Amino acid sequence: MLTSIKGRVAVVTGASRGIGRGIAEIFARHGARVVVAARGREGAEAVAAAINAAGGEAVGLPCDVARPEEALRLAAAAEQHFGGIDILCANAGIFPAAKLTSMTPEQWDEVLNTNLKGSFLAVSACLPALRRSPHGRIVLTSSITGPITGYAGWSHYGASKAGQLGFMRTAAIELAPHGITVNAVLPGNIATEGLAANGEAYIAEMAAAIPLRRLGSVADIAYAALFLASDEAAFITGQTLVVDGGQTLPEA
C-alpha cells in the first residue's frame, strides 16, 4: 500500500475524457481533491459531477493550456477552490495526423502549442502553489511516440512528446530545491476517445503489435501517475515510466 494522497489537491489538464479522466477518477478514489480541466467547460464539469456523485471531491474548470492567461486563471481558481495545489498532471494533448509532405506551419504550431508549450504553461502557472506544498509533484503525460518510436503522420506530435522530456529534465533540476519532483509517464496505445478517432485499422494494427495483446486502459496510466505522485516516489525525479504492454520491446 502506498501512503495515502488523501486531501491532496491534484490539477489534471485534459481531464474531460480519456487518460486525463482516468487520472482524475483514480486520484479522487484515492482521496485527492481533483481539479478537472479541459477546454470544454461542460465536459470538465460533467467529469467533476461524476466524481462527486461517486463520493469523491472535484471541480470542473475550463482551460486551454495553450493560452497563458487561461493556465494562470486555472491555477488561481484551483487555489481559490481548494486552498492550494500539491500535484499537477499536465496531460492535455492532441494528436491530429499530418504527413510532412502536406503539413502546414499552422498544424505544427497547434500541436506544439498544446502539447509542449501547454505543459510549460501549466507548470509555470501552478508553480507558486506547488512550491508552497510540502509534497509538490508534477507528472507529465508524454508518449512512446517521439521519445522512443516514430509513426508516420506524427512528426509534430513526436517532437512535442520528446520535447516534454527535455523540458522535464531541466525542470526537475530547477525544482528539486523546492522539493518538487517532475516525472513523465510514456503511454503506449491506450483505449481512449482520442485514440479511437484514428480508426479501426490503426487500433487493430497496434493491438497486434503489443506483446500483452491488448491496448492499455486509462487506469493503467492513472496508476503509474498515482505512484509518481505518491510519497514513496519522493526520491524519483526527471524520470520516465513507459506503460505500453511491452510494445517497444521487440527487436523485429
Query: What are the residue numbers of the active site?
Result: 157
On whether the CB atoms of residues 135 and 150 are closer than 8 A, the answer is: no
Among 14, 56, 146, 245, binds ligand NAP (CB under 6 A): 14
Least distance CB 250 / ligand NAP (angstroms): 18
**Is position 150 an interface residue for ligand NAP (rule: CB under 6 A)?**
no
Residue 114 or 181: the one with the smaller Cβ distance to ligand NAP is 114
**Is position 154 an interface residue for ligand NAP (rule: CB under 6 A)?**
no
Q: Which stretch binds ligand NAP (CB under 6 A): 16-24, 26-34, 125-133, 231-239?
A: 16-24
The size of the interface with ligand NAP (CB under 6 A), counted in residues, is 32
| Contact characters 173-192, ligand NAP, x per CB under 6 A | --------------x-xx-x
Query: Considering only residues 80-99, where is the footprint of ligand NAP by CB under 6 A?
Result: 91-95
Among 19, 35, 172, 228, binds ligand NAP (CB under 6 A): 19
Q: Residue 101 and residue 247: Cα distance in Å, rounded?
A: 28
Degrees, nearest 5: CA angle 78-141-243: 135
**Is position 156 an interface residue for ligand NAP (rule: CB under 6 A)?**
no
Query: Considering only residues 43-62, where is the footprint of ligand NAP by CB under 6 A?
Result: 43
Helix (H) or strand (E) holding 75: helix 68-82
Among 193, 205, 231, 232, binds ligand NAP (CB under 6 A): 193
CB under 8 A, 24+ apart: contacts of 72-80: 72/125, 74/11, 74/13, 74/35, 74/37, 74/122, 74/125, 75/11, 75/125, 75/126, 75/128, 75/129, 77/35, 78/9, 78/11, 78/35, 78/126, 78/129, 79/129
Residue 89 or 180: the one with the smaller Cβ distance to ligand NAP is 89
Q: Residue 247 and residue 252: Cα distance in Å, rounded?
A: 11
Q: Residue 107 and residue 124: Cα distance in Å, rounded?
A: 25
Residue 19 or 87: the one with the smaller Cβ distance to ligand NAP is 19
Least distance CB 179 / ligand NAP (angstroms): 26
Handedness of CA 183, 188, 189, 190 (dihedral sign): negative
Residue 121 or 175: the one with the smaller Cβ distance to ligand NAP is 121
Q: If you search the block for the grid coordinates 503511454, which residue do you land on?
A: 187
Q: Residue 227 and residue 234: Cα distance in Å, rounded?
A: 10
Q: Which stretch binds ligand NAP (CB under 6 A): 11-19, 100-108, 166-174, 226-234?
A: 11-19
Degrees, nearest 5: CA angle 173-5-120: 35
**Is position 237 an interface residue for ligand NAP (rule: CB under 6 A)?**
no
| Bridge partners (DSSP) listed for residue 37 | 13, 61
Helix (H) or strand (E) holding 89: strand 87-90
**Is position 146 an interface residue for ligand NAP (rule: CB under 6 A)?**
no
Where do contacts with ligand NAP occur on this chain (CB under 6 A)? 13-20, 38-40, 43, 63-66, 91-95, 114, 118, 141, 143, 187, 189-190, 192-195
